[in-house]
Structure 1
Amino acid sequence: MQNPDIPDAQLASAQPDAPELALPKLARQRLHDTVVDHLREFIVEGQLAPGVKLNERKLCEVLGISRTPLREALKVLAAEGLIEISPNRGATVAQLSEAEIRDMFELMSGLEAFAGELACERISETELAQIKALHAAMLLSRAQNDLSGYYSRNHAIHDLINIAARNAALRQTYVTLNRRLQALRFRSNFQTSKWDSAIRDHEGMIAALEARNGPALAKILRGHLLAKRDAVLAERTLGVAAAEREA
């Protein structure tokens, strides 16, 4: 997920008017999708933090593009709820309220639990093998203290379980909601204890999938998502308290 050309110092400490990002110039092929993917990645990994005003000129320089494809990409991200576009203020990274965070994670816990039940009925041996391989790669990322690699594999495991549910309506709802939660899910792993807890959950997920035990997998997934909700809300409370002390 994290681009190796982007220094660590430019991560979540980004200030309004857009951070100083660095990225190789983009190829013209599939430019629109590539721009959307890079901007979404910046938001997920905190390089463009909630509330940051996007500076179009700087982003065009970073991505090596003109303003037309940039603005098209911003419209896509606005439709996904990742940014907000105002006629007077331009584009800013969206900020979720405490109530929105709570509601969305509770809904996501239900979606993932249901997907887990269906996946236990419908998953193929090939898909199960892919999930096991991703889990092994996730463990390696954990050993290397690679949060970006860990998260990308973690995300892929959840995504494969959802795909294995074979339910198009569920899939569409899941993808739409998960895009709004990705940045929060990423930040919920900042503490290594959270990584280790998530790994134990994932080991339980694989065991439940192997046993085709839908109720067990649903219970694990629901608890997994609600734990992330609690971690995000706790971090948010600490951030608000720190800001009040500095004020």
Structure 2
Amino acid sequence: MATAKEIAYELIRNSIFSGKFQPGHQLKEEELAGLLNVSRTPVREALRQLADQGLIEIRANRRSYVADVSEAQFEELMDILSFLESYSARRAARRISKEELDELKQINAEIERAVDDDPHFLQLNSKFHRAIHRAAGSHKLYELIDRIIDFHHNLYFKFGQIPARHNPLSVTEHQNIIEALEDGDEEYAALMMRAHNESVRRAFRQYWSERGKLPDAESA
């Protein structure tokens, strides 16, 4: 059975990723404790864990806020994510099993059916990427990438969801990654993962530029 702290953690985390709690939103311990019908202690512990993961900020006044993401942070995040995920794909190409490949194919088929449902698409997309990183066979690498994926979710809901027109392209890019993994081609798997991340970067920039929310960067 989940503890009160674990329940509080999941509720707050899911509320951030669903967009219910937007970046900059203040998270009040008393309100959250009342919502969960628990004391403030497990809520405080959950907030500290989320702060350690970078999803919230605990400021000098000890108040907690959903973490914000700047343009510079976005560019840095995408650089790091692209580097780590490419390395992970390279490792996975050497190690991935038939069962893990079948799982990736199944997830991508589900993603294709969810191209017009952005929240569900995002959830499945993260599941796809995490499956690759598990197949890479490095727990430490998985933990590093998992934290960045959480930041990516936060970014996604700060500025608004990428239009569904980009989603079918992601399905195709995923298929390219799967084929490279199935062939055991380490270089091509890394290349396809890097290309996929750059495609996502461009989609974010285009979306924000169209809405005046984030100026186009001069270079990646």
Structure 1 and Structure 2 fold alike (TM over 0.5): yes
| Percent of aligned pairs with the same amino acid | 29
Alignment of 1:156-175 (within 5 A): 156-175=127-146
Q: Secondary structure at the match of 1:34?
A: helix
- Please state how far the C-alpha of 1:59 moved relative to its aligned partner: 2.2
Structure 1 unpaired stretches of 5+: 1-27, 242-247
Q: Indicate which of 37, 42, 55 corresponds to 2:15.
A: 42
Task: For 1:234 and 1:149, locate their aligned partners in 2 and report how far apart those are by CA, in whole Å.
Answer: 22
Task: For 1:107 and 1:29, locate their aligned partners in 2 and report how far apart those are by CA, in whole Å.
Answer: 33
- Please state how far the C-alpha of 1:234 moved relative to its aligned partner: 4.2
Q: Normalising by the residue count of structure 2, what TM-score does the alignment of the two structures yield?
A: 0.86
> Structure 1 pair 64/137, CA: closer, same or farther in 2 (3 Å)?
farther
- Please state how far the C-alpha of 1:189 moved relative to its aligned partner: 5.0
Between 91-100 and 174-183, the greater mean CA deviation after superposition: 174-183
Alignment of 1:120-159 (within 5 A): 120-142=93-115, 145-159=116-130
1:192 aligns with 2:164: yes
Find runs of 4+ consecutive structure 1 residues off by over 6 angstroms: none
Between 176-185 and 163-172, the greater mean CA deviation after superposition: 176-185
Is the Cα contact below 8 Å between 1:188 and 1:194 reproduced in 2?
A: no
Amino acid at match of 2:58: I
Partner of 1:220: 192
Q: Secondary structure at the match of 1:65?
A: coil
Number of aligned residue pairs: give it.
213
> Structure 1 pair 48/169, CA: closer, same or farther in 2 (3 Å)?
same
1:32 aligns with 2:5: yes
- Please state how far the C-alpha of 1:29 moved relative to its aligned partner: 3.0
Q: Indicate which of 131, 136, 151 corresponds to 1:180.
A: 151
Amino acid at match of 2:139: A
Is the Cα contact below 8 Å between 2:27 and 2:66 reproduced in 1?
A: yes
* Deviations 1:70-119, CA, capped at 9 Å, x for gaps: 11100001111111112426111111221111011111001111111110
* Deviations 1:143-190, CA, capped at 9 Å, x for gaps: xx3222222211111001111111233223212322222222567753
Partner of 1:112: 85
Partner of 1:231: 203
- Please state how far the C-alpha of 1:239 moved relative to its aligned partner: 4.8
Partner of 2:29: 56
Partner of 1:245: none
Task: For 2:160 and 2:185, locate their aligned partners in 1 and report how far apart those are by CA, in whole Å.
Answer: 27
Partner of 1:93: 66
Q: CA RMSD in A?
A: 2.3
Q: Normalising by the residue count of structure 1, what TM-score does the alignment of the two structures yield?
A: 0.78
Amino acid at match of 1:124: S
Task: For 1:217 and 1:138, locate their aligned partners in 2 and report how far apart those are by CA, in whole Å.
Answer: 20
> Structure 1 pair 239/81, CA: closer, same or farther in 2 (3 Å)?
farther
- Please state how far the C-alpha of 1:133 moved relative to its aligned partner: 1.3
- Please state how far the C-alpha of 1:56 moved relative to its aligned partner: 2.6
Q: Secondary structure at the match of 1:166?
A: coil
Structure 2 unpaired stretches of 5+: 215-220
Is the Cα contact below 8 Å between 1:188 and 1:231 reproduced in 2?
A: no
Task: For 1:134 and 1:203, locate their aligned partners in 2 and report how far apart those are by CA, in whole Å.
Answer: 11
Q: Secondary structure at the match of 1:73?
A: helix
